Amino acid sequence: MASNVSRRDFLKGGGLAGITIAGVASLGVGSVLGTEEACAATATMTEFVYTCPVCGQHTSDYDALVKHFDGTHPGAAVPQAVALTINGTTFMAQVEPQWTLRETLLYAVGLTGNAKQMCDRGACGSCSVLIDGVPALSCSVLAVECEGRQIETSEGIAADPAYRPLFESYVKHDASQCGYCTPGHLTVAKYILTKYGDPSADQIRAELAGNICRCGTYSRHVAAIQEAAASLKGGN
Amino acid sequence: MRNFSHVDAASAKEASSNASKSSALFIAGGTDLLGTLKDEILPSYPEKVINLKTIGGMDGIRDEGGAVLIGALAKISALAESDLAIAHATALAQACEKVASPTIRNMATIGGNICQMHRCWYFRVPDNRFACRRKGGNYCPARIGDNRYHSIYGEQDGCYAASSHDTAPALIALGATISTTKRKLAAEDFFVINGIRSNALEADEVVTEISVPKAAKSAFQKFALRKSIDFPLVNCAAARLGDDSVCIALGGVYPSPVRIQAAEAAVAGGITEASAQSAADAAVAECRPLPKSGYKVEIARALVKRTLMELK
């Protein structure tokens, strides 16, 4: 591991190794967040280590993992190696077939914004991410089905300077109270801004209909998104 | 969720033959299936989940002379916005617009919507705790339990659940035909209770296409407790067919969506305020609601009248 990895990244990495991905994943997390130190660390990324989820044995390539399953754990479903493109960066992740995208974002990639567990049944919209530019519920998509698709989370939108006005108007209008649903709202807000440009209040309400906010901040989302649309249009 | 193996299918035939080899379930949009697997509501857990989304060319919506042909993988949102569906299968487009939330409509498919399992809360209780009629048991917990969201037309095979598809009454009213890998079924024959399923499909049968005959005019109404993301308490679709007859179907009132022929007869001579009212009364005349589901009778009555008035 590179020497300039921060303590926080190191701790995250340690946790990841125990779950499925060794070492390299923590470097990937940093690069999604766009920090300079993590970008430097990404350059040192060389190999991907597969970890058997049943007994914890490490293997260096996927074929060896499959062989290990055939020999040691016959009958168990073999994890799949999936290349996930998240916020423009492609990650290798070792994913079990039953993992949802939400679980994968949280446990294997370390993105905590949209991936918090809320209802986990597709009823609240807090886990909304953009898949190929369209909002989808990460709790109701299997990660193995996301290979080759562009996944965008609130972290990616936050790191994009073009969408700074959206976040600023959310802060200005105090459009998040407890903040649990906010990442889901923000990803759908980006979709609304790209789809309509200058959305009306009714369009915003219709598109946000699937995002539940228990604090009841609904009217402020409309105001915040409309103000963001105005300043995005003004080239701010 | 517990472990399963995940297989991508290249064609509907391949998916079907793959499913016949071991216990398997199909996944398209996944919005219904993943919830059932997370809660482990089913008596058995699949060894295999077969992904249908990788099948090419099954998501189109196209004009085929007298009918609108809809691929089973067409997204609910695509149908709601399709000019073809809005013009010739209005009730279906309106129904799709009312399904769940915009995000779910972007993910869910029409094939998955008609294959979703019932939302009865005894059937859906986590960890498969009630051996109800649908799971091979000999009683319906809703019969004596809390049945406020259940059938008002009595039982079907001992089950008092209420159908929860928004698109089903629209497909029945429009006289749609559903093609599977094995056969073609009229929508009316498709939606029947069949073990854990809400449709006549066999375990290895895949819906491939839905053919909806063009209707001059059709309409859909839904009543739910919440405006967004809610299953219907009652929904109703009506269509004026080619021979000027009217077809009316109700959902959320019986384990399968029902066609109401008594109401159709009442408006055979034309739709007026008075004939729509007598059709609505005829539609609920045979109702036998459960102790707590009586209020749904009045909702059904109102929806039948409202839907018919839209056809005027």
* pLDDT for res A76: 81
- Is A88 an 8 Å CB contact of chain B? no
Q: Worst-scoring range by mean pLDDT, A9-23, A50-64, B5-19, B152-166? A: A9-23
User: Shortest Cα distance from A210 to chain B (angstroms)?
Assistant: 5
Show the CA angle centred on residue A178, arms to residues A175 and A181, nearest 5°.
70
Question: For an interface test with B, which of A54, A98, A190 has the most B Cβ atoms less than 10 Å from its Cβ?
Answer: A98
B262-292 confidence digits (pLDDT tens): 999 999 999 999 999 999 999 999 999 999 9
Ranges under pLDDT 70 in chain B: none
Only one residue has tokens 């739709």, namely B271
- For residue B146, what pLDDT is reported? 96
| Whole-number Å distance between alpha carbons of A22 and A15 | 9
CA nearest to B231 within chain A = A123
Residue A59 burial by CB count (10 A; 0-12/13-18/19+): exposed, middle or buried?
middle
Chain A interface, best mutation among B101, B119, B164, B225, by max A CB count within 10 A: B101
Kindly state the percentage of chain A with pLDDT values over 70: 79
> Least CB-CB distance to A123: which of B34, B51, B229?
B229
pLDDT reported for residue A37 = 44
Looking at the complex, report in whole angstroms how far the Cα of residue A100 sits from the nearest Cα belonging to chain B: 9
Confidence of residue A62 (pLDDT cuts 50, 70, 90): confident
Count of alpha carbons within 13 angstroms of residue A185, beta-carbon side: 25
Percent pLDDT > 90 in chain B is 96
| Chain B, nearest residue to A130 by Cα | B103
Percentage helix, strand, coil for chain B under 3-state DSSP, each rounded to 5: 35, 20, 45
CB contact A152 to B (< 8 Å): no
Nearest CA-CA distance, residue A56 and chain B, Å: 17
Mapped onto helix, strand or coil, the DSSP state of residue A68 is helix
Per-residue pLDDT, A10: 43
Q: Mean pLDDT, to the nearest integer, of A46-55?
A: 80
Q: Which two tokens stand for residue A11?
A: 């701790």
Residue A30 pLDDT class (50, 70, 90 cuts): very low
Domain ranges for chain A, please list them.
116-236
What share of chain B in percent tops pLDDT 70? 100
- Find the CB nearest B106 among A120, A136, A211: A136
pLDDT digits (tens, 9 = 90+) for B78-105: 999 999 999 999 999 999 999 999 999 9
Average pLDDT, chain A: 83
Q: Does A53 touch chain B (CB under 8 A)?
A: no
Query: In this structure, which amino acid lies at residue A148?
Result: G
Are residues A204 and A222 in contact, defined by beta-carbon separation less than 8 angstroms?
A: yes
Looking at residue A235, its pLDDT comes to 61
In this predicted model, which residue has the larger pLDDT, A6 or B212? B212
Query: pLDDT, tens digit, for every residue of A200-221?
Result: 999 999 999 999 999 999 999 9
Give the whole-angstrom CA distance, residue B135 versus residue B197: 10
State the count of interchain CB pairs (< 8 A) between A and B. Answer: 85
Asked whether the predicted pLDDT for residue A41 surpasses 70, the reply is: no
CA dist B149 and A184 (Å) reads 30
Nearest Cα to Cα of residue A98 among B282, B241, B34: B34
Collect all residues of chain A within an 8 Å Cβ-Cβ radius of residue B1.
98-100
The pLDDT value recorded for residue B283 is 96
**Which residues in chain B have Cβ-Cβ distances shorter than 8 Å to A188?**
103
Q: Which chain A residues are closer than 8 Å to B3 by Cβ?
A: 76-77, 96-98
Are B107 and A142 an interchain contact pair (Cβ–Cβ within 8 Å)?
no
Cβ contacts of B51 on chain A, cutoff 8 Å: 142, 145
Q: To 5 degrees, how large is the angle CA B260–CA B266–CA B272?
A: 120
* Element at B142 (helix H, strand E): helix B141-144
Cβ of B37 and A207 within 8 Å?
Answer: no
pLDDT at A35: 45
A137·B1 Cβ contact <8 A:
no
The CATH number of A116-236, from 3.20.20.70, 3.40.50.80, 1.10.150.120, 3.40.1710.10, is 1.10.150.120
Query: Rounded distance, CA A84 to CA A106, Å?
Result: 13
Burial of B208 (0-12, 13-18, 19+ CB in 10 A): buried
**Chain A touched by B2 (CB under 8 Å):** yes
As a whole number of angstroms, the distance between CA B182 and CA A166 comes to 51
> Alpha-carbon torsion B136, B142, B144, B150, what sign?
negative
Can you read off the two tokens belonging to residue A96? 């079990």
Contacts of B28 in chain A (CB under 8 A): none
- Find the radius of gyration of the CA atoms of chain A: 19
CA distance to A16, A44, A104, A181, A186, per residue, from A84 (Å): 16, 20, 10, 24, 21
Residue in chain B lying closest to A203 (CA): B102
> What are the residues whose beta carbons fall under 8 Å from the beta carbon of A74, sequence distance 6 or more?
none
Specify the pLDDT at position A40: 40
Q: Which of B87, B66, B29, B13 is nearest to A136 (CA)?
A: B29
Chain B residues within 8 A of A135 when measuring between CB atoms:
102-103, 106
With CB atoms and an 8 Å threshold, state whether A142 touches B27: yes
pLDDT of A47 reads 66
Q: Who wins on pLDDT, A19 or A219?
A: A219
pLDDT confidence tier of residue A29, bands split at 50, 70 and 90: very low
Cβ separation of B103 and A210 shorter than 8 Å? yes
Any bridge partners for residue A80, and if so which? A95
**Per-residue pLDDT reduced to its tens digit, A83-117:** 999 999 998 888 999 999 999 999 988 899 999 99
- pLDDT tens track for A91-100: 888 899 999 9
Tell me which chain B residue has its CA closest to the CA of residue A211: B101
* Identity of the amino acid at B268: A
> Is B265 part of the contact surface with chain A (CB cutoff 8 Å)?
no
Contact between A13 and A26 under an 8 Å Cβ cutoff? The reply is yes
CB contact under 8 A, A98 and B3: yes
AA letter at A121: R
Q: A136 vs B6: CB contact, 8 Å cut-off?
A: no
What integer pLDDT is reported at residue A2 of this predicted model? 43
